[in-house]
């Protein structure tokens, strides 16, 4: 387990650039010596990646602009991280913006310095706002793992707490709470180390997947300190479900909402996302949970 692996947050967005739907990937990275952000714009005809590496001594790189061209259309990536404030992760929590502009439109804007972003870029709001398709991050803890997530295109960010007990003297169990409300509780975890359950958040059905195989069965091995559990939260747009509808899912090979199979275990010890996350009907959050002994 490397420092790079532990400190990476990846978000996939869909937006319109030059009138065509395209995908943008944002990577926030932090290592022991530096941190930064990369912006990748995917297109069938061309691909562009802008990397901003921030060394402790290179303050001039914390604000800037780079140009790109996608299929004959000029665009710019602007960033201002001079006043960015971080918690433990690589992604700023406030005091920053990252903006992608194409043909004078703000196709993607991240951060809380909205006014400054529009003033610096002189862009107009896009006709279609960008949509977050998926997010993958790493979380750390001994027993509790905490993050935030927003379900649906509008609404507040919710506090997610995962509590997992896998060692004696207590029997293994798993609890997942959203805004202090217990939504998932799994006992006999040694038999139910993989599974999924549908819950309701803000009236939206959310499918919760978990895989804690490594924590249950690698506890006595040297790999235990390097083993991670995986959790995934996927919104199920337009699906009618009861608030706590359980699924008989030790092996996930079916489709969600008739779409692609998002989980294919096939005897593996970790969750595998389908190659194209954009085919999901809703957004998804994937967490790799690492134990800090």
Record the tokens describing residue 15, joined without a space: 């937006």
Predicted confidence (pLDDT) per residue in 187-201, tens digit: 988 899 999 999 998
- Determine which of 82-96, 140-154, 274-288 has the lowest per-residue pLDDT on average: 274-288
Report pLDDT for 245: 42
pLDDT over threshold 70, residue 135? yes
Question: If you write DSSP's letter for every residue of 114-168 in order, what string do you get?
Answer: HHHHHHHH-PEEPSS--EEEEEEEEEEESSEEEEEE--SSSSPPEEEEEEEE-ST
Question: HSE on the CB side for 277, CA within 13 Å?
Answer: 24
For residues 152-159, give the mean pLDDT: 73
Q: At a CB cut-off of 8 Å and minimum separation 6, what does 44 contact? A: none
pTM of the shown model: 0.73
pLDDT over threshold 50, residue 204? yes
Cis previous bond, 169, omega within 30: yes
Task: Provide φ and ψ at 120, rounded to 5°.
Answer: -75, -40
Tell me what percent of the residues of the chain surpass a pLDDT of 70. 74
Cα of 175 vs its chain's centroid, Å:
20
Task: Give dist(CA 267, CA 84) in Å, integer.
Answer: 43
Report pLDDT for 143: 87
Cα of 262 vs its chain's centroid, Å:
15
Q: At a CB cut-off of 8 Å and minimum separation 6, what does 8 contact? A: 27, 28, 29, 30, 90, 136, 137, 138
Report pLDDT for 276: 34
Question: HSE on the CB side for 188, CA within 13 Å?
Answer: 3
How many residues are listed for the chain in this entry? Answer: 293
Q: Cα separations (Å) of 261 from 96, 161, 169, 280? A: 37, 26, 38, 9
Predicted confidence (pLDDT) per residue in 6-59, tens digit: 578 999 999 988 788 889 999 998 877 778 888 998 876 667 787 776 655 455
- H helices present in the chain, as ranges: 3-6, 114-121, 213-217
Record the tokens describing residue 41, joined without a space: 């714009």
Strand partners, 38: 27, 51
Instruction: Band the pLDDT of 226: cuts 50, 70, 90.
Output: low
Predicted confidence (pLDDT) per residue in 100-122, tens digit: 999 999 999 999 999 999 999 99
For residues 201-207, give the mean pLDDT: 87
61 CB-contact burial (10 Å; exposed 0-12 / middle 13-18 / buried 19+): middle
Predicted confidence (pLDDT) per residue in 10-20, tens digit: 999 999 887 88
Q: 60 or 142: which carries more pLDDT confidence? A: 142
Report pLDDT for 268: 29
Task: Give dist(CA 103, CA 81) in Å, integer.
Answer: 24
């Amino acid at each position: 387990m490397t420092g790079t692996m532990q400190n990476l947050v990846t978000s996939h967005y869909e937006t319109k650039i030059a009138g065509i739907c395209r995908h943008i990937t944002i990577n926030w990275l932090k290592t022991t010596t530096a941190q930064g952000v990369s912006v990748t714009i995917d297109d069938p005809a061309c691909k562009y990646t802008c990397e901003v590496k921030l060394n402790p001594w290179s303050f001039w790189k914390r604000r800037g602009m780079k140009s790109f061209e996608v299929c004959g259309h000029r665009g710019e990536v602007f960033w201002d991280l001079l006043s960015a404030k971080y918690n433990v992760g690589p992604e700023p929590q406030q005091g920053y913006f990252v903006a992608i502009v194409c043909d004078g439109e703000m196709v993607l804007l991240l951060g809380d310095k909205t006014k400054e972003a529009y003033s610096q870029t002189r862009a107009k709001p896009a006709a279609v706002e960008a949509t977050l398709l998926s997010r993958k991050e790493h979380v750390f803890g001994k027993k509790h793992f905490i993050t935030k997530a927003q379900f649906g295109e509008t609404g507040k960010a919710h506090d997610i707490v995962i509590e997992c007990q896998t060692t004696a003297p207590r029997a293994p169990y798993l609890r997942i709470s959203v805004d202090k409300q217990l939504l998932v509780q799994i006992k006999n975890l040694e038999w139910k180390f993989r599974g999924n359950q549908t819950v309701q958040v803000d009236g939206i059905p959310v499918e919760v997947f978990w895989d804690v195989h490594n924590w249950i069965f690698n506890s006595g091995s040297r790999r235990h300190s390097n083993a991670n559990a995986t959790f995934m939260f996927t919104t199920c747009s337009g699906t009618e479900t009861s608030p706590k509808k359980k699924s008989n899912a030790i092996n996930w090979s079916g489709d969600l909402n008739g779409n692609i199979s998002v989980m294919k275990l096939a005897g593996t010890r970790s969750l595998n996302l389908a190659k194209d996350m954009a085919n999901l009907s809703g957004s998804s959050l994937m967490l790799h949970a690492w134990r800090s002994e």
